[in-house]
Amino acid sequence: MALTKKDWKELFIGIGFLLPNILGFLAFTVIPLVMSIYMAFTDWNLEMHNYFRSEPISFVWFDNFVKLFSDPDFPQYFGNTFFMMIGIPFGVAGSLVAALLLNMDFVKGDNRKRLTVTMILTAVMVCCFGLLAVLGLGGTGMTILMVSLVGGVLILGSIGGKTVYRTLFYFPYFTAGVATYILWKKLYSPENGPINNALRPLLDALTPVAILISPACEAIGIGLLVVVGLFYLCMVRRKLRLWRDGESGSVSIWLGMILSSLPLIFAWWWVSPTWLHIAGKEEALSLLSRNANWVLLLMLIFLGIGWGRFLYNFFFVGRKYTCIIDRGIGDSTIVDGSAMVLNMALVGLCCVFWILPEMAAAEEGLTPPNWTSDYYWAKPALLIMGFWGAIGSNNMLLYLAGLSGVPQELYEAADIDGATPWQRFWNITWPQLSNVTFFIMIMAVIGGLQGGFDMARVMTDGGPAGSTTTLAYYIYTQGFGTGRLGYASAVSWLLFLMVFIVTMFNWKFGNRYTNE
């Protein structure tokens, strides 16, 4: 295909406009990209191969990758990266709740109503202050501070409505960065941080309770695990119903079954020391020093019922309506993934109850955790901070936009049919928002894979003992800390591979899911 003179002219102009951008694109994206591939297969080292000192670079083929996978710490960093993603469903759920609340008709309200509310609330506030003054409870500045804070927001919010709350929700996300991480590090400060200052009296009060329920802790643990199991069975039932009705295909039901089984398998790992024996990690027993073979049994029973039901239905009963094989895969990823995380959290809670008696029996009773300087608490600390920032994030705004796009007729029809709010949500709002949710989840997972650098650098330096080192932080320490650029490049390509898989998943299933 020869180019005519006109084509050349168009090309010339087109490239002309593109020129500044494409030069930068070549210099800072394409060339580095090629270099990076090359570097990943060499022993390029900042100390030895740079502008001032260039020893020969040797090509090591896959040595970097071999080294990476044989690094004993690598599974931990890999696991950390995924552990930090536990926060995603909670953050998204928080955003959704915030958006739903903000979207309710009566926040917008008509002016007369809003004015009445404002006046009444103000009156209540004044009365509260008066009461405090009379009873003498207002002596401490803290009470006044809290009351006036709550009161101020309440009055402001009932006047300004949606905008005020949205702005306040959005603040943490908007300001997130080194500054807020430093702030949180101070909040988490073990000796005199405000969080622990507030927790100490609370935990002191709880210590007798903990001692009191100590004998029952095991039972509570069992109870929690039973809840986990029942929740799992509910999920199986839901999946089977969707599958039977042709709402979800075979791939998605298998995916969902595997996802929802994971917490039960993890319960063995976390609660039952039997597996630690097998794994040869006897030293980890000190944390959970009890023998809990019954956990294994309990979880096996639940798994047996769930999988038995599933396999029986899958192979012998069959479905009522057929559908394409990968239909509903987005739904199963979101719902089952979130349910899995929730179940994992319940198993974690069970572990807490498991060690509660020992903690309460200690001399000083229950003590607040050391947060970022504690091996086990550092990650939850970062997760809590992440949750704080995630509620009012862009996701909330995306959900608000999504909610405004839901046709009102659907709700009207539902009202005529006498649907409860719960039914309205699950049968109208949630399906209508599914494409927004899918988009948010995919973006969050992609961000999560690459994330954790800023937090780790500012708050924990990747520690204690590597418990907050994510892949991104590992790349930083390897590449710029110790100067092993070749090795760091190899890790970054592994990271790319994971992002690539998620993106492909999005491409393949994202659009189809949206169109359903």
Q: What is the smallest separation between the CB atom of 22 and other proteins, expressed in angstroms? A: 7
Q: Distances from the Cα of 141 to the Cαs of 132, 144, 145, 146, in angstroms? A: 12, 5, 6, 9
Assess whether the previous peptide bond of 464 is cis (omega < 30° from 0): yes
16 or 136: CB nearest other proteins? 16
Q: What is the smallest separation between the CB atom of 267 and other proteins, expressed in angstroms? A: 31
Rounded CA-CA distance 168/490 in Å is 42
Return the C-alpha torsion angle 148, 149, 155, 161, nearest 10. Answer: 180
23 or 311: CB nearest other proteins? 23
Name the DSSP class of 478. Answer: I
90 or 493: CB nearest other proteins? 493
Give 49's strand partners: 54
What contacts 122, CB < 8 A, 6 or more positions away? 155
| Cα diameter, the chain | 92
What contacts 513, CB < 8 A, 6 or more positions away? 328, 329, 330, 331, 434, 435, 438
Name the DSSP class of 86. Answer: G
7 or 73: CB nearest other proteins? 7
Q: What is the smallest separation between the CB atom of 167 and other proteins, expressed in angstroms? A: 7
Determine phi and psi for 55, rounding to 5 degrees.
Answer: -80, 160
Rounded CA-CA distance 11/262 in Å is 55
Q: What is the smallest separation between the CB atom of 104 and other proteins, expressed in angstroms? A: 6
- With contact defined as beta carbons under 8 Å apart, do 53 and 45 qualify? no
330 or 479: CB nearest other proteins? 479
23 or 317: CB nearest other proteins? 23
193 or 256: CB nearest other proteins? 193
Q: What is the smallest separation between the CB atom of 32 and other proteins, expressed in angstroms? A: 4
Mapped onto helix, strand or coil, the DSSP state of residue 59 is: strand
58 or 291: CB nearest other proteins? 58
Secondary structure of 124-135 as H, E, C letters: HHHHHHHHHHHH
DSSP E strand boundaries for 29-81: none
Q: What is the smallest separation between the CB atom of 477 and other proteins, expressed in angstroms? A: 12
Q: What is the smallest separation between the CB atom of 488 and other proteins, expressed in angstroms? A: 6
Q: What is the smallest separation between the CB atom of 146 and other proteins, expressed in angstroms? A: 8
